[in-house]
Structure 1
């Protein structure tokens, strides 16, 4: 075999030798391409699966964990929630609108493939500095792509996060999460069971868009990546809506044995994975596949990642039901093959065999464990003296500057482009700690959040990911919901670099410990390596999507101040956790310092007690303290409620440290003074400090020790709202 042929499809010589041994012969060109795409990092998880298996995946509420299209959690009363996060980083860096749009389309299909109706989208977006002209182009394109697809399909985008840092300049991150609701006894899986059952292709036609997308996502981005636009899929949200409704209608019959989205690797992955899960084989004829371009060869048909397509395994005697339903919705439904008993993926063209490989061998890529080396920055950061940084001369000026930070400023410019109210189930909208969705016909609600902090994980990946999980946990608790489970999107540089692989390994180790402690199992997710360019790698950026359940949405709370005279308090102890903070990074231009100290046991206890107070109706508002610290949390709550605050703060800390510390396990809460004793009784020995009162005057006045605080909230709100739009215009 010509060396260039196996290298062109992303395989090494050792992998090529494995394939020859598996087949007992040299593969032909089509077979080599099938292995190339399925053994890519994007599809095969070959550098991550040895560690992913260590994550906790079982629990009281888990109905479906990793290994399927999405995870499923039991929420009681016969209902279940289906959810997952996926990345579309490389495509979005090359073609931002279509890359982001098709990322949305793909994750929606993962959810309804399981039998759930998608009810919400969230996104985690990472860009370079907004002072860079290309970053502005990528930012506008990605946001428009998410809005364009989600709005047209009719699924609300209810939450998310957006961060700007020069480290993401050449490798933006686009992670999209979808949440669906379903009956727990109507779960569908990607399995090709029943020898002789029919294999159906349904949905849109196959074109040349998305060719080699999985392989493209399994290499570093380079200057030549712009030339690979054909690897970016093109989406049609209106076709997706038809496909969604047709599939959900099909699920009401008993015709479906198994179903899988044609995502990365298209027809190749959907056929071999469904067969491998069932221990069967599949035989298909590519000549029967509906095509929208002339002269497509078998390699193009098998590797195309054209959107809005599904593979359905149908009971042989139920074929007419499939034809009838998809004809009603104006979609293709074509029988292209059958389930066999020999474990082979057999590809025919006009009845002639052109490829024959074991399905399990394709679906199960080899696993690698790479060399690790601790990055020098971890020790350097731990030794950084935070007290060496100067104190601001004017705390009011420092607060104004911090609120102008695009990472802390309002994201309304983004989420107002999304339809977050379609389907009328959004109870708590974007801009709060978590979003809350009602479950029609019940009092229950689903709380959802998505969080990350690449800087934390860069300076200490083991503790950094635990801090991200802790923030997600607080966000769910802050609306009054009990956290249940997570999905993860793990974004890293090139795993062949020992420092990068160290970041990945330590992230998994830290996540395992935190998930076990918080009792939030991992239901599935995504690993994205090779987020790296000639200028270096991104920060290690694990994205955590978490869901929770609230039994009565009438008891939910949000971040906004409600009533004049309510007391303002901080739950939890504030320490000098300035290392790795937004304050250190943005105000002092230093990326260093020890990450905030997290006591997992204490953190969970604080959250449990706060949740108990919410259930008792004792708090009028609750806001988790995270990026930017107490000062930013206070301002956000005031602006959301159109209220002011009178403060009187006494602290042994430096005043700027108290205002901007990111100590985990803290909340800003407001409540009627008459509830103070009950709150104290519930919180017990947890630190709880009253720091002021809510006022009707739209200003923040008061003192921190002997230093005056005076903030005109009209001006603060203007800075907060205009930071991102102004940066885009500059």
Structure 2
């Protein structure tokens, strides 16, 4: 077959093309022809198909995401916002921190190990491309029912992939979540986040300016793995019957990535690049079009110079390949020799594949024949924008009317005790040590808090002890009941977790996981969740620095629960002032901060005891969340709090159990006046935390809470080797530990 060149495409307007097989709609194909004034070549069609995919173009979500920029003003800390590889915030002392969360959901279901491993690799390169040294990763995960046979296939593979790749890179895994729910059975969520650190002057952006500057591709050779990978795979639902879509999932090599990181950081130190972009989803199609589009616009690429692992790859396949561990840099001619020298030193393959031109087109050649001649912005940024129809689901009212308040409560103290044990042993509330122990949480020696703490925290300056904290949270059950409130609860919990560690929340990244955008019910959930998140960020003063949308998490007609995952980044002046969750000393006084109401909609108790989902989620009071955060941060800074734990899934009893087991000390609790023991233990009212206060600081702490108007109630003392709820029951820590720690190993053994 002869090469499909630009000249040939102009001469054969009626040639049939596989636009439908590549995931394009008929009107999208017509639009491409209109942009080009002719039919596209095969290479151009390949580029548009991956870049206009849902995963790369955000064509169904753009109209809603723009609220994050329009509604939420940047704060003083924001240095780089939405639109770059990752957002960047100022954390003081001349340091900047970049962070982001992305999804690798569909590839991880097809091939759990490589799907998850390359999810880590991809997010690390996003952070690297900003000019930062990656310093830590996090992994918010969702799987199907814990006892389902396929969970035993997917979860161990995903965990091994995350641990294998991250551990080899020498990056501590400091946080995340693991949630089980049958709605994720065919669509596990593998979200990956990374934090990077740099000085302000080291920030790099993805743009190609300066005619004559060279385009250098460096890193691994390009192979057949990942052709059509995440860009196509994540842009369509799985069928409920028949074979799964199986484009080649990318294969990762963490040792190659480690060389790439060190090589790139040395190149940055010598200030050799004018622009840089990692190669992730859509591979070279993305890197070349985005660099050209964000720069002066013109670029010429000689595609046949790209180093290959498989010499049989066609031009289209090279452009679509999502092979890992690759970067693309724009380098002034005077720096090229030194750039290549550094790459050779690190044993990283580097090739000049083109140059920036003074034109306005992205032109790609194959052995001298032109196969691409496109306006780069039309590929990278001016893809389709859909106003998908959406409407409140017909079943939403009935779901909310099915109130959890009608569920049978424990009839006596023995039943109450039994339900506490059942809760702490349930898969979602049980210890995740079987998982997190497979990750190196303390490599590099700068981790000061890691799972199972409320937030992960790393030191970024050894002299001053300046540090940053990151928490990720999301509750699909809450969001199913009310997506607007559910998104705000995810934001509030993550914000609260960062504050509980002693850090001041600064900004957020998000990963918005939903079903098919072609379903009006799902689009309503998405619209409500993004509106809720934008409104919440506005009230809390936490701008959105960037993030990811993952749609089509659906098998047949069955969509996942709407699952907005929110990552909040915070800063702490001195990590020695951090607040752990452990009740570490007998005699510490336990205080409950915030108000407790009868709120059980979407609660862990209703799920574990009654397998029920219905009613309304807890109410959100963001002004209260801000006040609570201020108290937690001030108490930490001024030495008034020895331990703190946010109250969320499972309520007070879950938090106290975790803090007691972490510190190896029991607690005696007293049910406050006006509350019954059941509500006291299991309510999931938001805006609350439990803190351990040294006796010497009790008056100062309660005076501070009173002066600022935050409800504070003394509920007990750290004491003994059991958790006792006076007048109700007691459970030895040994019994709680067995219940809490045995579940996950038993399920996955």
Fold match (TM-score > 0.5): yes
Match of 2:338?
Answer: 321
Aligned counterpart, 1:28: 41
Deviation at 1:225, TM superposition (A): 8.3
Distance of aligned partners of 1:107 and 1:226 in 2 relative to their CA distance in 1, 3 Å threshold: farther
**TM-score (normalised: structure 1):** 0.98
The match for 1:568 is: 590
What residue is the counterpart of 2:718 in the other structure? 694
> Shift of the alpha carbon at 1:712?
1.1
Distance 2:386 2:353 in 1: 35
* Counterpart position of 1:346: 363
> Is 1:620 aligned to residue 638 of structure 2?
no
CA distance in 1, matches of 2:45, 2:575: 54
Q: Secondary structure at the match of 2:438?
A: coil
State which drifts further: 275-284 or 1-10: 1-10
Hey, what does 2:353 align to over in structure 1?
336
Work out whether residues 666 and 723 of structure 2, in 8 Å CA contact, stay in contact via their aligned partners in 1. yes
Deviation at 1:458, TM superposition (A): 0.9
Note if 1:248 corresponds to 2:265. Answer: yes
Distance 1:57 1:327, change over 3 A: farther
Contact kept, 8 Å, 2:592 with 2:688, in 1: the verdict is yes
Question: How many Å separate the matches in 2 of 1:144 and 1:3?
Answer: 44
CA distance in 2, matches of 1:186, 1:588: 54
* Residue 724 of structure 1: how far off its partner (Å): 0.7
391, 400, 407: which one aligns with 2:421: 400
- Residue 366 of structure 1 and its aligned partner are, at CA, apart by 1.6
The more displaced of 515-524 and 684-693 is 684-693
How many angstroms apart in 1 are the aligned matches of 2:607 and 2:307? 53
Q: What's the counterpart of residue 412 of structure 1?
A: 433
CA distance in structure 2 between the aligned counterparts of 1:544 and 1:420, rounded to whole angstroms: 21
1:61-91 CA-to-partner distances (Å, cap 9, x unmatched) read 0111111111100011110101111100000
The answer on whether the counterparts of 2:473 and 2:565 sit within 8 Å (CA) in structure 1 is yes
Residue 442 of structure 1: CA displacement?
Answer: 2.1
TM-fit CA distance, 1:383: 2.2
Alignment partner of 2:96 out of 56, 80, 84 = 80
Look up the match of 1:727: 747
Within 5 Å, give how 1:263-662 maps onto structure 2: 263-364=280-381, 365-393=383-411, 394-439=415-460, 440-662=462-684
Q: 1:336 to 1:387 in 2, by over 3 A?
A: closer
Q: For the Cα contact (< 8 Å) 1:94–1:226, is it kept in 2?
A: no
Deviation at 1:223, TM superposition (A): 5.6
Change (3 A) 1:245 1:622: same
Alpha-carbon offset, residue 13 of structure 1: 1.2
Q: Distance in 2 between matches of 1:624 and 1:650?
A: 18
Number of aligned pairs?
A: 725
The SS at the match of 1:260 is strand
3-state SS of paired residue (1:185): helix
Corresponding position of 1:715: 735
Q: Secondary structure at the match of 1:457?
A: helix
Taking a change above 3 Å as real, the CA distance of residues 388 and 229 of structure 1, as seen in their structure-2 partners, is: same
Measured in 2, the distance between the counterparts of 1:388 and 1:524 equals 41
- 5+ residue gaps, structure 2, are 1-13
Give the C-alpha shift of residue 230 in structure 1.
Answer: 3.8
Retained in 1: the 8 A contact 2:404–2:612? no
Give the C-alpha shift of residue 652 in structure 1. Answer: 3.1
> Are positions 1:8 and 2:21 aligned together?
yes
CA distance in 2, matches of 1:225, 1:245: 45
Structure 1 stretch displaced more, 679-688 or 135-144: 679-688
Q: Is the 8 A contact 1:256 1:315 kept in 2?
A: yes
- Residue-by-residue CA offset, 1:393-426 (whole Å, 9 max, x unaligned): 3111010000111111111111100011110000
Q: CA 1:115 to 1:482, structure 2 compared with 1: closer, same or farther past 3 Å?
A: same
In structure 2, C-alpha distance between the alignment counterparts of 1:225 and 1:109, rounded to whole Å: 35
Cα separation, partners in 2 of 1:544 and 1:334, compared to 1, 3 Å: same
- The residue that corresponds to 2:694 in the other structure is 672
CA RMSD of aligned residues (A): 1.4
Contact 2:672 2:713 in 1 (8 A): no
Structure 2 CA distance for partners of 1:224 and 1:201, relative to 1, 3 Å? farther
User: Which SS does the other structure have where 1:583 is aligned?
Assistant: helix
1:237 aligns with 2:258: no
Deviation, 1:278, is 1.2
Look up the match of 1:174.
Answer: 190
Provide the C-alpha distance between the structure 2 equivalents of 1:225 and 1:641, rounded to a whole number of angstroms.
Answer: 51
Deviation (angstroms), 1:441:
2.9
Structure 2 CA distance for aligned equivalents of residues 617 and 225 of structure 1: 60
CA distance in 2, matches of 1:276, 1:298: 21
Q: For 2:202 and 2:420, how far apart are their aligned partners in 1? A: 52
Q: Please name the residue that 1:44 is paired with.
A: 57
Query: Is contact 1:191-1:258 (8 Å) kept?
Result: yes
1:155 aligns to what? 171
CA-to-aligned-CA distance 1:421-471 (integer Å, 9 cap, x gap): 110000112101011111133221111111111111111000100000000
* Residue pairs, 1:133-152, within 5 angstroms: 133-152=149-168
Q: Distance in 1 between matches of 2:123 and 2:241?
A: 28
The one of 205, 211, 232 equivalent to 1:195 is: 211
Distance 2:87 2:672 in 1: 47
1:3 Cα offset (Å) = 6.9
Aligned equivalents of 1:723, 1:542: Cα separation in 2: 27
CA distance in 1, matches of 2:327, 2:241: 32
Counterpart contact for 2:102–2:192, Cα < 8 Å: yes
Secondary structure at the aligned position of 1:335 is classed as: strand
| CA deviation after TM superposition for structure 1 residue 57, in Å | 5.8
Shift of residue 535 of structure 1?
A: 4.9
In the alignment, structure 1 residue 18 sits paired with structure 2 residue 46? no
Secondary structure of the structure 1 residue equivalent to 2:728 = strand
Contact in 2 for aligned 1:28/1:355 (Cα 8 Å) = yes
Q: Is the 8 A contact 2:671 2:680 kept in 1?
A: no
Residues 254 and 391 from structure 1, CA distance in 2 versus in 1: closer, same or farther, beyond 3 angstroms?
A: closer
> Which residue in the other structure is 2:11 paired with?
none
Q: Which consecutive residues of structure 1, in runs of 5 or more, have no partner in the other structure?
A: none
Question: Deviations along 1:206-234, whole A, 9 cap, x unmatched?
Answer: 00000111112100012678654443100
> In structure 2, what is the Cα distance between the partners aligned to 1:551 and 1:593?
42
Contact 1:57 1:66 in 2 (8 A): no
Distance 1:185 1:15 in 2: 41
CA contact (8 A) 1:483 1:547 kept: yes
SS at match of 1:727: helix
Give the TM-score, by structure 2 length: 0.95
Q: Does the 8 Å contact 1:607/1:665 carry over to 2?
A: no
